[in-house]
Amino acid sequence: MRRLSAVIALLVAGLAAHAMPAAAQDRRIYVSNERSGDVTVIDQQTLEVVGRIEVGLRPRGIHLSPDGRRLYVALSDHDPFEESDDDAIAVVDVATNRVIARHSAGSDPEQFGLSPDGRWLYASNEDAGTATITDLRTGEVLATLVVGIEPEGVAVSPDGRWVYVTAETSNTVSVIDTRINDVVSTFLVDARPRAAAFSPDGNRAYITNEISGTLVIADATRHRVLNSVPLAGGRAKPVGVVVSPDGRRVYVANGHAGSVSVVEAGTHRVVHEIAVGRRPWGIAISADGRFVYTANGLSDDMSVIDTATNRVVATVPAGSMPWGVAVSR
């Protein structure tokens, strides 16, 4: 009888937990707007704009902490060579939509990645030619490492071991080993690499190359290029890249081509090209892989792609010159 009571209690508790609505901030999309200096907050279910967070000058790179409680936004001033108070990573409490802290991440931080445990932030400093490692518990800069010329994209492997930093002028990817916080390898990719993303199993990395119009597929265990896939017949200007949660598809935001390419990870074939808003750079995917979102810099909006049909199912207004997008996990 006691066992039956316990089972009933567990069932009731389980049902209650299932019926309980998730906190509103668990279902949000955040778009950084480079020109208007703010972040647009969008409800993931209704796709309605539910808020706007003023963060500071030139917000670009944007990521949620692994626990979803903090939103990090890269800010920078208009002097790329001098580090000022306007160069920072803003920390937003997503429960209140308020900026609660600003961390240093070197001069002109643009893109960054977070360690899986949420403790370390790795940022590229474009004009200083460095990558900065910041301890998010203390806000202190742990290390500043020399990487390629004009570093841009940053990606952290799922196990947190490797950080890839692309560099636009040297056409390189610098590999940081997080066990020693130093650059241990550098490899050549195609012309003007912009962003990188790892597969969920950590075996592959995907690097977009804006001028060559290609997606480079790299062996992320040996840090070597395996293949280079032309996008949109080589006419794409790819920037953002994201991998589906099951690792089977790679979605690339084609910038001035105004489209998203869908690449099959297993065959390296481009299987769809989907027209979106103007100049999509930032791209993100929902936790279940059902929707892909693009930040469209010249149409001031965000496109929503249904990955089951590979069609745009909604366009949501954002601020001025949207740059990046982050989605609640």
Residues of the shown chain interacting with another protein in the complex, contacts defined by CB under 8 A: 80-81, 126-130, 141-150, 168-172, 174, 181-183, 185-188, 190-192, 210-213, 223-224, 233-235, 237, 256
Q: Residue 81 CB, nearest distance to another protein (Å)?
A: 6
Q: Which two tokens stand for residue 206?
A: 């995907």
- Measured in whole angstroms, how far is the alpha carbon of residue 140 from the centre of its chain? 22
Q: Looking at beta carbons only, is 54 or 82 nearer to another protein?
A: 82
Q: Residue 115 CB, nearest distance to another protein (Å)?
A: 17
Percent helix, strand, coil in the chain, to 5, is 10, 50, 40
Q: Which amino acid is at 120?
A: W
Q: Looking at beta carbons only, is 169 or 315 nearer to another protein?
A: 169
Q: Which two tokens stand for residue 25?
A: 């901030």
Sheet of 62-64, strands arranged across:
62-64, 70-75, 88-93, 98-103
Sole residue written with tokens 């692309």? 166
Give SS3 for 67. coil
Contact at 8 Å (CB) between 73 and 89?
Answer: yes
Sole residue written with tokens 């009571």? 5
Q: Residue 106 CB, nearest distance to another protein (Å)?
A: 9
Q: Looking at beta carbons only, is 56 or 106 nearer to another protein?
A: 106
Q: Looking at beta carbons only, is 8 or 149 nearer to another protein?
A: 149
Q: Looking at beta carbons only, is 173 or 242 nearer to another protein?
A: 173
Q: Residue 187 CB, nearest distance to another protein (Å)?
A: 6
Q: Residue 222 CB, nearest distance to another protein (Å)?
A: 10
